[in-house]
Amino acid sequence: MSQLGRVKQWNTFARCWHLFDAAWQNPLECSPTIEKYLKGLNKPIYHPLVDCGDHVVVINSKQIAFPGEEWRRRAYFHHTGYSGGATWTPAWELHDRDPTMIFRKAVYHHMKGNLFRRVVMERLHIFSDSNVPEEVMENITNQIPPLRSIPKTLSSYSKEEIEKYPKIIDYPEDFILSKN
Amino acid sequence: MFKIPVSGILLGASKVSTKMFVPSIGLHVSAPMKLKEIHANKVGGKLIIEGAFVPSPRKDHLIQNNNECCPLCSLGLDVKHTDVLILSQFVRSDGCMMPRRVTGLCKTQQKRMSKLVSMAHKAGLMCDLAPANSKKDPSKRKLWKKYNTYYDESTIKVYESHFKTIKDNIILDYMKSKNPEN
Ligand SMILES: [Zn+2]
């Protein structure tokens, strides 16, 4: 067996740990990618009854992004079981209470439902910020690339960079510039 | 009914009278085509407010537009709401969109740009360009506004008929310039 093939085999049979930065990522878009690593769908030995999935550590889950008015319009349903116990919580309100729940629900609901799903979900570790315990961080060997580029704010550019950027329009004649 | 023509005549008369004193040669004592800036200085307990002429800060990096279209149409850019370096050129220092007589864009692009600017503001990408009393940090906003949001540019409506009239006008003008006899 070649050297590369041997490493590939180690990676296949070992339980790897992957890091995923959720800042500015849509949880509904990344759940297929996360599921692929959690279940081990990318491995050649994959079978529904083979327990070959990896661990995924998701950081910055408080900074997830939704498109348009999704924060207001998206509702999460819960029923206590008693009559009149139904509640519909907007996504932003749920995110106020628990910043990891929307991401966990997105991954959980994307997976096909059977009892094995609970076992797979145990391998998903979500942290609302980048403070990850040392015993988790030391296992990580791979980082999953972000699906959506993080937008740059205007304050992240330097003043010279903004001034030297090509200008499309000029001020008209007799335009009064404000002081700041 | 009677007053309107009288005022019109008066206006015309005033125009004629001013024209008599303006020299016909293009001679100007002060530069007429310059930007103005308001300076407020305090000299010995007196506040002096004056309008001073300044050169345009964008002069060196301006893209020359030789087309008949507006600057954005002639460049053919696909502007997204994350392109803050482009969008910040169309706003004032407090973040409000400049009117069409200042930007010089066509109606379609002006509408599109103002939508994109509002998207960039809502996404918190241009928080420095805001009124002085505002909270500049987007994470300190109320309710759902404090969370990260991105937008889809395809939700901005584009009026096809307007594009069609512009296209037709350009073709017509081109035909006229080709054979000026007709
Ligand atoms: Zn145009």
Positive or negative, the Cα torsion across B153, B155, B160, B163? negative
Q: pLDDT-derived band of residue A103, with 50, 70 and 90 as boundaries?
A: very high
Spatial distance between the Cα atoms of B79 and B30, rounded to a whole number of angstroms: 39
Chain A CB contacts of B105 below 8 Å: 169
Chain A CB contacts of B63 below 8 Å: 166-168
* Cα(B34) to centroid(ligand 1), Å: 25
Please write down the long-range contacts of B32-36, taking CB distance under 8 Å and 24 or more positions apart.
B32/A173, B33/A173, B33/A174, B34/A173, B34/A174, B35/A171, B35/A173, B35/A174, B35/A175, B35/A176, B35/A177, B36/A174, B36/A175, B36/A176, B36/A177
* Choice between B8 and A107, residue whose per-residue pLDDT is larger: A107
Q: pLDDT-derived band of residue A59, with 50, 70 and 90 as boundaries?
A: very high
Q: What is the mean pLDDT of chain A?
A: 90
- For range B156-176, the mean pLDDT: 79
E strand residue ranges, chain A: 17-21, 55-59, 65-67, 75-79, 86-90, 124-126, 142-143, 176-177
For B173, the token pair is 């003008």
Spatial distance between the Cα atoms of A86 and B4, rounded to a whole number of angstroms: 70
User: Domain locations in chain B?
Assistant: 71-131+138-178
A–B CB contacts, 8 A cutoff, strictly below? 127
Phi-psi label, residue A23: left if phi above 0, alpha if psi -120 to 50, beta otherwise: beta
Radius of gyration of chain B (CA): 24
CB A173 to CB B155 under 8 A? no
Across the interface, of B90, B104, B144, the residue whose CB is closest to A92 is: B144
- At residue A121, the pLDDT reads 92
For B57, the token pair is 């800060």
Across the interface, of A23, A169, A176, the residue whose CB is closest to B89 is: A169
CB proximity A76 to B under 8 Å = no
Residues B122-163 pLDDT 10s: 999 988 888 888 888 888 888 999 999 999 988 887 766 677
Asked if residues B134 and B145 have their Cβ atoms less than 8 Å apart, the reply is no
Positive or negative, the Cα torsion across A125, A128, A129, A132? negative
Across the interface, of B62, B105, B126, the residue whose CB is closest to A167 is: B62
Asked if residues A55 and A130 have their Cβ atoms less than 8 Å apart, the reply is no
Could you give the angle at the alpha carbon of A86 between the alpha carbons of A85 and A90, nearest 5°? 135
CB A65 to CB B149 under 8 A? yes
Share of residues in chain B with pLDDT > 70 (%) = 77
Residues B66-94 pLDDT 10s: 877 888 888 888 889 999 999 998 998 88
For B108, the token pair is 């379609």
Share of residues in chain B with pLDDT > 90 (%) = 14
User: Domain locations in chain A?
Assistant: 14-148
**Which pTM value belongs to this model?**
0.74
- At residue B133, the pLDDT reads 85
Chain B CB contacts of A26 below 8 Å: 150
Phi, psi of A145 (to 5 degrees): -65, 145
Across the interface, of B125, B127, B148, the residue whose CB is closest to A64 is: B148
- For range B10-24, the mean pLDDT: 43
* Cα(A35) to centroid(ligand 1), Å: 46
For A15, the token pair is 């339980």
Residue type, B176: K
Spatial distance between the Cα atoms of B81 and B84, rounded to a whole number of angstroms: 7
CATH of domain B71-131+138-178: 4.10.640.10
* Cα(A49) to centroid(ligand 1), Å: 60
- At residue B21, the pLDDT reads 46
* Choice between A58 and B73, residue whose per-residue pLDDT is larger: A58
**Longest alpha-carbon distance in chain B:** 70
* Cα(B150) to centroid(ligand 1), Å: 26
CB proximity A100 to B under 8 Å = no
pLDDT at B16 over 80: no
Asked if residues A37 and A59 have their Cβ atoms less than 8 Å apart, the reply is no
Asked if residues B125 and B152 have their Cβ atoms less than 8 Å apart, the reply is no
- At residue A70, the pLDDT reads 92
CB A166 to CB B150 under 8 A? no
Q: What is the 3-state secondary structure (H, E, C) of chain B?
A: CCHHHHHHHHHHHHHHHHHHHCCCCCCCCCCCCCEEEEEEEEECCEEEEEEEEECCCCCCCECCCCCCCCHHHHHCCCCCCCCHHHHHHHECCCCCECCHHHHCCCHHHHHHHHHHHHHHHHCCCCCCCCCCCCCCCHHHCCHHHHCEEECCHHHCCCCHHHHHHHHHHHHHHHHHHHCCCC
Q: What is the mean pLDDT of chain B?
A: 76
- Domain A14-148 fold: Ribosomal Protein L13p; Chain: A; (3.90.1180)
Across the interface, of A66, A148, A154, the residue whose CB is closest to B126 is: A154
- Chain A residue closest to B130 (CA)? A180
Tell me if ipTM is over 0.90.
Answer: no
